[in-house]
Amino acid sequence: MSRYFKIYSARDYQKYVLMCFRDILCILLLFVICACSTNWRVIKNETLDDWDGRRMMYKNLFPSKYGLGEETEYDRIDFLKTHERKRHKYWLLADPRGGDIDRTLGYDPSEYTVQPDVNILQNPTHEVQITWIRHASFLVQLGGKYQILIDPVLEQYDGLAGKFVKYTVVEVPNTESPLTAEDLPFAGASENPGENQTVIVAISHDHYDHLNYRTLKKLPENTHYYVPHGLENEFPARYANVIGMDWYTQDTIGGLTITFLPANHNSSRSMNARNQNLWGGWLFEWNDYRVYFSGDTGYSAVFKDIKSRVGEVDICLMPIAAWYWRHGHFAPEDALQAAEDLSCNVFIPWGWGTWIISYEHLLEPPRRLQYAWDQMQPENMELRVLKMGETYSIGLPGKVQGVKSN
């Protein structure tokens, strides 16, 4: 029997009360110590109508232009070659429209991946360097000081999802990450990793292909984590600097301004916690450069709204895959339209070539993007299709039209 229940006299009762009081003080002291050792903040925007009180969940600000499975004239175009078509039956993520094919046939990851130039990453030569790692993961380096990791998933999926999907064809990576956490320019065996640098992680939403704690736990302890509002409550206590943000809120670190922006998507890491955290994109502003990462999103009036509130964007990082769920994912032409809404100068696509997360062939997104580009012919915009591991650089000593160089 526990010592707390051996009460035989008033004296024993007093001892019991004192022990309980002592234990409570110890617990409170532990909470105080943990609170003092962390820097968790929430930046709220009380003016937005982003909460569905009836269903008790967050909602998109604008309705999506397209519904689930809705098709357009682009969907009637065949972007595959004859030898890339072969019938295949998927027991997970089978195409409900029928006529399923092998979505990887003819796809060679080595053709779309390069070995990163680690020297350039360690010693930036340009004011702005943007490296597409894979899927939604980017490393954005600004001024050689700000090291920004966006949606880094460099390891196996977290939890049961990682243990389960490795036995399926659907979620096995078709492209291994060209960069590991140990390869990052702020990692290493030094006593002060990331010294004289500001390391930032920006998470767009909590889906497993965008939030990966296996990767995060390998990053420096002084990393600043920016997450959608609500997600900060789910971060383990070991992460000391976590900032949860509402849509259209800002924060600054030195000369860097970070803005969290809305998107048309959703959030959930389990079946019973749908849309309890926000989702969205990030705008990074430094020295007159404006780099925008949209996060997963479908097309809606939200992009015109973003431009009306925060202005034009220099560089757009946009997804172009998984368009069967078009209410929450761009088709390539949707991404270009959103980029036009934002008056982007440079368009960099992502989201394709790593995992089978939808019903299109892995090679369809870049081909459909090029076709849409030729048809739409966006003005004052440059298309830069990076390979995984490739770095796009601007600023001194180079210059891109419409993007300032100092």
- State the pLDDT at residue 270: 82
7: alpha, beta or left? (left if phi > 0; alpha if psi -120 to 50): beta
341 phi/psi in degrees, rounded to 5: -55, -35
- State the pLDDT at residue 162: 62
Residue type at 69? G
Per-residue pLDDT of the chain (406 residues; tens, 9 = 90+): 444 334 445 545 454 555 566 655 544 444 444 444 467 899 999 999 999 999 999 999 999 999 999 999 999 999 999 999 999 988 888 999 888 999 999 999 999 999 999 999 999 999 999 999 999 999 999 999 999 999 999 988 877 666 666 656 666 778 889 999 999 998 764 444 445 789 999 999 999 999 999 999 999 999 999 999 999 999 998 898 999 999 999 999 999 999 999 999 999 988 788 999 999 999 999 999 999 999 999 999 999 999 999 999 999 999 999 999 999 999 999 999 999 999 999 999 999 999 998 999 999 999 999 999 999 999 999 999 999 999 999 986 434 333 333 3
Structural contact between residues 327 and 64, judged by C-beta atoms closer than 8 angstroms: yes
279 phi/psi in degrees, rounded to 5: -145, 160
Pairing of strands 41-43, 315-319: unpaired
Rounded-to-integer distance, Cα 66 and Cα 89, Å: 28
Please, what is the Cα angle at 42 between 39 and 45, to 5 degrees?
160
**CA of 258: how far to CAs of 247, 249, 292, 293, in Å?**
11, 8, 10, 11
Ordered DSSP codes for 66-99? S-TT---GGGGS--S-GGG--B---SSS--TTS-
- State the pLDDT at residue 168: 63
Rounded-to-integer distance, Cα 118 and Cα 292, Å: 24
> What global pTM score does this model have?
0.87
**CA of 52: how far to CAs of 23, 60, 110, in Å?**
41, 9, 45
Token pair for 163 = 């243990």
Grouping H, G, I as helix, E, B as strand and the rest as coil, residue 155 is coil
Q: Could you check whether the bond before residue 397 is cis, i.e. omega within 30 degrees of 0?
A: yes
- State the pLDDT at residue 273: 85
Instruction: Tell me the sheet residues that pair with 347.
Output: 316, 383
User: Whose structure tokens read 């502003």?
Assistant: 285
Grouping H, G, I as helix, E, B as strand and the rest as coil, residue 130 is strand
- State the pLDDT at residue 36: 43
- State the pLDDT at residue 4: 39
- State the pLDDT at residue 370: 98
**Secondary structure element (H or E) that encloses residue 154, with its range:** none
Rounded-to-integer distance, Cα 131 and Cα 28, Å: 45
Instruction: Tell me the sheet residues that pair with 251.
Output: 258
- State the pLDDT at residue 104: 94
**CA 401, 292, 119, 178 torsion-angle sign:** negative
402: alpha, beta or left? (left if phi > 0; alpha if psi -120 to 50): left
Structural contact between residues 143 and 286, judged by C-beta atoms closer than 8 angstroms: yes
